[in-house]
Structure 1
Amino acid sequence: MSLTKQDLRAAVAREMPGARADLERLVRIPGIAFDGFDHSQVDRSAEAVADLLRGCGLDTKVVRNGGRPAVIGRRAAPPGAPTVMLYAHHDVQPAGDPTLWTDGSPFEPQERDGRLYGRGTADDKSGIMAHVAALRAFGDDLPVGVVVFVEGEEEYGSQSLRGILRDHLDDLRADVIVIADSTNWDIGVPALTTSLRGEVNCFVEVRTLESAVHSGIYGGPAPDALTVLSRLIATLHDADGSPAVDGLGGYDQTTLDYPEERFRRQAGVLDGVRLIGTGSVAARNWTRPSISVLGLDAPPTDAAPNALVPAAKAKIGIRVAPGDDAGAAWLAVRAHLEKHVPWGARLTVTLELTGEPTALDATGPFYDAARHSLRDAWDGAEPVDMGLGGSIPFIADFRAVLPDAVIMVTGAEDPYSRTHSPDESLDLSEFARICLGEAFLLHHVAGVHR
């Protein structure tokens, strides 16, 4: 029996209360893959996801390659039908200081004003449950082959992903890959993410003295490391705030207008604080590089003695423009720092990670099917193609092992989800739409012949 779109609407509506309840159960599991956290919770999270996929009738296994566990579920395609991979990740960012959350409980989901709050509600347990809700809506009448791949250390850099792809490539082969880990343009306006910046994180350490010394007796001739580090960091930007590192790429063409007032509101920029850089807001956020100071190791102000600091360290984050190369960007930043370190201070620059940027060709029949599906799920709202300032570096890995697959990036997040921040949340109406949109997508893809 082939389900109609009207049947799917009714089926998804029927499944939404259960999807909401299972989403809340997943949110209560603090599966954090970072060092120093209880990794048994990541194992528990993987098993919970595996149980959900088995309940959808998928042949399911928990796998790993030296890192945290991933989950793979598969159902073979009917004769002549394509296979769709549905990706999400079950690990989450650390919650940080719980007192910064309105309810003080990051892993206890709470609904307020139509939004579900909690770590992982949006990023990316909503993606898992969108896949599950769509599969439940079809039941035994799934018209395509499906692979559900739920990673367990995406937030920690996907360090074992390549090994998992290599070890389980036969299980993961697909014609279309749907990565449900992004955002929509606005509440009520669906989007396909077609470009993402890459990433370079590095540590910059300077040393000027053998040890701390009295700031009065030796201050003046002797440079302290914090001043050196401050001056060095300041060279990374021009006076207008644009990156000042030679060799970083970028371009100005964007598909959407991003009004400054909208950006300021969504980013929470304080009144009177000017935006940095030049060109359109969309270009500065999506298609040009950025450089940020992510952290400092130095004496805290409330415990700092009157002494010159002998060493200081910063973590620097670089977002790499689509079309650029993350490795080349790392070399450019390192060369800049080595050239500009002041007063002969000793400098150590250490790479933490790199991730490649992405630019997707968002054309062809599968993309037509995706747009049709989103339009129907959002009651006629036209989907937009948008960029994203953040990174999904593993897309390059999928391209390497599945070069013929069409990759599309969707998600249930919205500009107010506050992913990676206190009070992360999911708009429940958008969640229902992305579940319906994914069911429609599987319905439409079934009719596409390559």
Structure 2
Amino acid sequence: MEWYHVGAGLLLLLVLFIGIGLSIPFALAAASLPFLFYIQGWSTALVSSELKLWGVWIDYVLLAVPLFVFLGELIGRSSIGPNLYAFMHRGVRVRGSAAYGSIAACAGFGAVCGSSMVGSLTIGGVALPEMQKLGYDNRLSSGVLAAGGTLSVLIPPSLILLFYGIVTDTSIGELFIAGIVPGLVLVLLFCGVVYVWGRVRPSHIPSVDRSQRSSLRQMLVSVGPIFAIGLVITLSIYTGIATPTEAAAVAALLTVILAFGVGGLDLAGFKAALFATMRTMGYLGLLLSAGVLFGFVMTYYRVPQQFTELFMSYQLGPWLVLAIVIVFYLVLGMFLEPVSMTFITLPTIFPLMQAAGFDLVWFGIVYTITMEIAVLTPPVGLNLYVIQGVSRGTIAIGEVITGCLPFIASMCALIALLIAVPEVATWLPQAMK
């Protein structure tokens, strides 16, 4: 069987199974199994599947995923996240302080949690009602919070960067370091969007907030936990003291202590965080396992390698190759969520980028930004529906989409900046070697 028959067959079966309503993990597995049986026979294929599925669940590196998810759930169910937003907003004598505070709070939350959806849900659940009460336009407030949640995907630790590192066998520590400067640049771009929006549509942003400033104790309670958790993750990974998995374990333990100690978490909230983590990992675990089977079949038939050779035979310039890949992900992101895209497409795409001469750490940051855009583009933009759900029907999905457009434009501007000045992503990892 030729590689292009296998590639086309996998794609057609995957589309068919998704079209009839199978979830992505089961669709991936179902598309892979006929080719696996053809390779190994029925009995051997079953044993091989069991071994590969089990191998995913006991992978040491992947242990970081449930730990970071659990950490985010704890922060979201305690008062640590809401306190962070209140500190960023309260008593700041700047017009648009609630919008700027939301971006800053999402950035701070992103420094301890790698999930975009959890970031939007945690900060948005507190900030959106406050912004509506203060008189912010629905499009601005929903756009700020939906886009702000994506900062959790770029600012380390990031689950997408973690999965990217696993699939491409790239240093996760280097990827995390490379995401810092682009993440800070994106925060500034988001703030720039709010500033320009206020200048163009002054009625969309209320006058300066005159609420009481936070006391020193409130500042410590609000910022201290996030700072401590972020410091543990950052220093332990970047100084080489701990692996990402060990850093996630220590940070999760510290978060439990802080959530109970200063975050007001009770046993019911702790139990809810555990169950929410198990539900999330139930899906992610199945997706990872199915992705391994899918990848094994493609690798056995050398689909990624042959596709790369075919693509490069057209002698396209590296920048044209990059442009095609970015457009491909922007379109695909309208229909698939980032984790599924990572395990379905990346095994084929990253050898192509490597052959085109691009640094995989640099491409990992560009790839992650396209995944941020994916959660903001309909019809399958997860953050759009999170914010629309948080509004409890007071904001239409069309308003959320419209509000996100300027922020999507700023992400595209960041991609352009990374292409023009690759050192924005590569300088810090190289400086720390």
TM-score normalised by length of structure 1:
0.22
Q: What TM-score comes out, normalization by structure 2 length? A: 0.23
Point out the structure with max Rg over C-alpha: 1
Structure ranking higher in helix proportion? 2
Say which structure is richer in strand.
Answer: 1
